[in-house]
Structure 1
């Protein structure tokens, strides 16, 4: 049960980070929203790092 829930969280983090880093930052750059672009970039990298940490933990420990 826990394995499937972690898999869902990992996939959600990956999709969210990719969308934030590609789509949202491009939209904010085009509309000259510099603060929002910076926040989307930071949150995207946080999500991606969480994806790596939780994914590696699931791979090695479960």
Structure 2
């Protein structure tokens, strides 16, 4: 998975070249990140707090 959307990025060129070094029988694929949702770690913390609050209200926490 590359961390850049640019078609001519250094990361892409490096990954494409490294892929040629894999021995026979291995398959490589470049996963495009352009269609993935943006990640924000703050949402993880908020979601975790929400789940804890729900558990407490249900008497499970």
TM range (shorter): 0.3 to 0.5
Point out the structure with the larger helix share. Answer: 1
Structure of larger gyration radius: 2
Please give the TM-score of this superposition, normalised by the length of structure 2: 0.33
Larger relative contact order (CA 8 Å, sep ≥ 6)? 1
